Amino acid sequence: MALPESLLQLVTLLKRLPGVGEKSARRMAFYIIQQPASFSEELAASLHGLKDRLYECSQCGNITDVDPCAICTDPFREKNILCVVESAEDLLSMEQAGIYNGLYHVLRGKISPLDGEDLPPSEYERLRERIIRTRVQEVIIATNPRVEGDLTFYSLLSELENLDIKISRLAYGLPVGGSIEFADRITLHAAFESRVDVKKSINKRR
């Protein structure tokens, strides 16, 4: 049975969301049209102008509706520790786990040769400048334990290792090929507590 054009358009749009296939998109579309009209109106109102109400924090790159974001302006945060994450979703997972009380730095991308993605030079400069300006003492590189995360980690390390700071990486309590976004609190806590001092490890091998 062919779907009505308006319903097909909704399914097509929903399929563009990450992790949503044809069946999931159809299921969501049918759920939406079976709800009272008020639900569709509220959903449309929430989406309308969303890009105008949310933007990147000018300091850390987190998604926020105030600039600087609440994390960057929190006076109780440890200002000398910086956790570098791949995305705002990873930052949110860290916050919900309640395992870290320093500041964050959200990368605008990652290195993924298969997808043709790379970190622009401005990203390295933005991170270095922030580390120097705010006198950061430790940088925790919390990229995901995947090939892309490893490539991003080593690229960042080569750019930062000449700075007089501690550089550490989350321990491999995180499953290889997994994602910080979906890790549970206990796993994230173990990865943080057992993080590796990367510069010290490199110096031992030299």
Query: What residues does each domain of the chain span?
Result: 5-48, 61-205
Least confidently predicted of 47-56, 72-81, 137-146, 173-182: 173-182
Res. 155: pLDDT tops 60: yes
Q: What's the sign of the alpha-carbon dihedral 98, 145, 70, 45?
A: negative
Q: Check residue 116 and give its pLDDT.
A: 79
- Alpha-carbon gap, residue 77 to 74, rounded angstroms: 6
H/E stretch holding 102 reads strand 102-106
Beta bridge partners of 56: 63
Whether residue 68 has a cis bond before it, omega within 30° of 0: yes
Average pLDDT, the chain: 87
Backbone angles phi, psi at 42, to 5 degrees: -65, -40
The torsion angle over the Cα atoms of residues 82, 156, 195 and 77, rounded to 10 degrees, is 0
Tokens found for residue 153 = 């980690």
- Alpha-carbon gap, residue 105 to 82, rounded angstroms: 7
- Alpha-carbon gap, residue 103 to 206, rounded angstroms: 31
Tokens found for residue 139 = 């940088």
Whether 85 and 94 have beta carbons less than 8 Å apart is answered as: yes
Residues 136-145: tens digit of each pLDDT? 999 999 988 7
Q: Check residue 172 and give its pLDDT.
A: 61
Whether 14 and 29 have beta carbons less than 8 Å apart is answered as: yes
Residues 187-204: tens digit of each pLDDT? 777 777 778 788 765 555
Instruction: State the pTM of this model.
Output: 0.80
Burial (CB count <10 Å: 0-12, 13-18, 19+), residue 194:
exposed
CATH for 5-48 is: 1.10.8.420
- The closest alpha carbon to 109, from 82, 85, 135, 83, belongs to 85
Task: Tell me whether the CATH fold assigned to 5-48 matches the one assigned to 61-205.
Answer: no
CATH domain 61-205 topology: Dna Topoisomerase Vi A Subunit; Chain: A, domain 2 (3.40.1360)
